[in-house]
Chains A and B, each alone.
Chain A
Amino acid sequence: MAKLLTEMLKGTLEGIILASLSGRPAYGYEITARLREQGFSDIAEGTVYALLIRMEKRGLVDVEKVPSEKGPPRKVHSLNSQGREYLEEFWRTWSFLAERLDQLRERGGE
């Protein structure tokens, strides 16, 4: 079960992170903590971090370095307009997938 969840999460984690950022900007640790609270308890902070770097490269999020009292400055990520567009597309695709899967469950392969 856990293994299957991990596999299925792989393709959706980007969308999940963007959705989480659409509420308000956050740094990696915060996003991970937030998602863990919401029931994504197996999410690794490093994986979120890696995806944030990828989304930054693809221009979906803006990054601002904010000094912190302890340790290195925090990178605060916020969704930009390109990221919002991507998120909308993610939700459209998600609805499409969910609909198809529901059909399959109800009618089988017919």
Chain B
Amino acid sequence: MSEGEKTGFISKMIGPKKRWRAYKARVKELPENYRTAVEAIERYLMYFVPIDADSNALTFEDLADLFEQAAVNGTPIREIVGEDPVEFAEAFAQNYTEGGYVPARARKQLADDIERAAGAETGTQDKTV
């Protein structure tokens, strides 16, 4: 059985580093064009801020699942990732990350700052810093 079977409890036990190596080993087994595509998506996914180590590892395991299945079915790369690979990658990343190139605290900061500014308009400005 492939390393891909190590999900759930076992994957929690073997830890992020081992899961990463297992993922890399799976990618190596893919036909060359699928491997190239996975590695390109992998590079792009690195820009996202993961929720935690577990969901970060899961991202790549699910990515490997998708491409292993596609390789078996002979699905062309374009049909997997679509005309705009960024769109696919962002939809995919949304499941495991805090939603983009900025950490959650930065988005909270923006929301808080705007709320303070909007509050100031109606004279309800928060005096605390």
Residues on A lying within 8 angstroms of B by beta carbon are: 2, 6, 28-29, 32, 42-47, 49-51, 53-54, 57, 68, 70-72, 74-75
Number of B residues contacting the other chain (C-beta, 8 Å)? Answer: 24
List residues of chain A with CB within 8 A of the CB of B95: 50, 53-54, 57
Q: Quick one: which of A44, A51, A68 contacts B79, CB cutoff 8 A?
A: A44
Bound-state CA distance A2–B69 (Å) is 28
Any A CB within 8 A of the CB of B54: no
Contacts beyond the supplied A47-B87, A47-B88, A72-B65: 20 A-B pairs with Cβ under 8 Å: A6-B84, A29-B69, A29-B70, A29-B75, A32-B79, A44-B82, A44-B83, A45-B79, A45-B80, A49-B66, A50-B95, A53-B92, A57-B95, A68-B72, A70-B72, A71-B69, A71-B73, A72-B2, A72-B4, A72-B68
Bound-state CA distance A6–B92 (Å) is 16
Nearest CB on B from A12, distance (A): 13
List residues of chain A with CB within 8 A of the CB of B94: 50, 54
How many interface contacts (CB-CB < 8 Å) are there between A and B?
68
Any A CB within 8 A of the CB of B62: yes
Say whether A28 contacts B69, CB under 8 Å.
yes
Q: Quick one: which of B2, B4, B66, B72 contacts A46, CB cutoff 8 A?
A: B66
Say whether B69 contacts A42, CB under 8 Å.
no
| Interface 0/1 of B9-41, CB less than 8 Å to A | 000000000000000000000000000000000
List residues of chain A with CB within 8 A of the CB of B2: 72
Which residue of A is nearest B1, CB measured? A72
List residues of chain B with CB within 8 A of the CB of A70: 72
Bound-state CA distance A107–B4 (Å) is 57
List residues of chain B with CB within 8 A of the CB of A72: 2, 4, 65, 68-69, 72
Nearest CB on A from B73, distance (A): 6
List residues of chain A with CB within 8 A of the CB of B75: 29, 45
Given A47-B82, A50-B95, A54-B95: A74 touches B87 (CB 8 Å cut-off): no
List residues of chain B with CB within 8 A of the CB of A50: 88, 91-92, 94-95
